[in-house]
Amino acid sequence: MNLCSRIHVILTEALELIKHCPDRICYNRAMNTVYLGLGSNLGDRERNLARGLESLAEKMMIKQVSSIYETEPLGYLEQPWFLNMVCCGTTQLGPFELLRYVKDIEGQLGRLASFPNAPRPIDIDILFYDDRVMETQALVIPHPRIGERAFVLIPLVEIAPDIAHPSINMSMRDLLSGLTEAQQVRRWGDVPRIRPATL
């Protein structure tokens, strides 16, 4: 078999492997550690968070889950209070694949396009993706407002107080202690158990 034929066979086999990998994800890809923030202020807020976690567990192995916190809305104030939490897990999804997946979950749980900071049944934000720093029109990692939001920092400090923000090399504990704007955040309860991921 000449070189061109060998290359053709290799490419054909690679394309078949990709075609038969669910969601075009191959299982020899590295596992990436991600932190996600979840929030809800419409409908059954606690159930919305639980359903969001259940859906996330289909594509990631969830390792840690914070308590749920009830928090006052920011930006647009004429709306119900939120329930917020964060989770940590590992996934083979790349950053943009993960973004598409969480947007699909939001849509499935009833979130509609609206104005910024509008009420919503579910909101899922990518907070950290390993120690990656990236900025595109569609996705910024780490989330650009982590350091401003007590409802993100308090649950992050609960499960990962010493992880460092890769852009500014400050721990979550230090970022929380440096918050100057008063924000009302109160512990609501624990998250129901979720079924494990099947990766």
115 lies in the same domain as 67 = yes
Residues 60, 156: one domain?
yes
- Give the whole-angstrom CA distance, residue 176 versus residue 132: 21
- Taking only the tens of pLDDT, the chain with its 199 residues reads 555 555 554 445 444 444 444 444 444 478 999 999 999 988 899 999 999 999 999 999 999 999 999 998 876 667 789 899 999 999 999 999 999 999 999 998 976 666 566 677 899 999 999 999 999 999 999 999 999 899 999 999 999 999 999 999 999 999 999 988 778 899 988 876 554 444 4
Q: Tell which phi-psi region holds residue 59, choosing left (phi > 0), alpha (psi between -120 and 50) or beta.
A: alpha
C-alpha to C-alpha distance for 152 and 141, rounded to whole angstroms: 15
Residue 198 falls inside a structural domain:
no
Whether 61 maps to a domain, the answer reads yes
CATH number at 51 reads 3.30.70.560
Residue 197: inside a domain, yes or no? no
39 shares its domain with 122? yes
In a domain, 140, yes or no: yes
**CA–CA dist 13, 7 (Å, integer):** 10
Say whether both 143 and 50 belong to one domain.
yes
Domain presence at residue 195: no
SS3 181: coil
Q: Is residue 194 part of a domain?
A: no
Same domain, yes or no: 14 and 83: no
Report the distance separating Cα 41 and Cα 117, nearest Å.
Answer: 11
* 145 in the same domain as 53: yes
Predicted local distance difference test score (pLDDT) of residue 83: 94
The total domain count for the chain is 2
Task: Please report the pLDDT score of residue 23 as a whole number.
Answer: 44
**3-state helix, strand and coil shares in percent for the chain, rounded to the nearest 5:** 35, 25, 45
Domain that holds residue 19: 1-26
**Is residue 20 domain-shared with residue 38, that is, in the same domain?**
no
Active site residues: 111, 120, 123, 125
Question: What is residue 70's predicted lDDT score, i.e. its pLDDT?
Answer: 94
Q: Are 85 and 191 in contact, with CB atoms under 8 Å apart?
A: yes
Give the pLDDT score at 4. 52
109, 42: one domain: yes
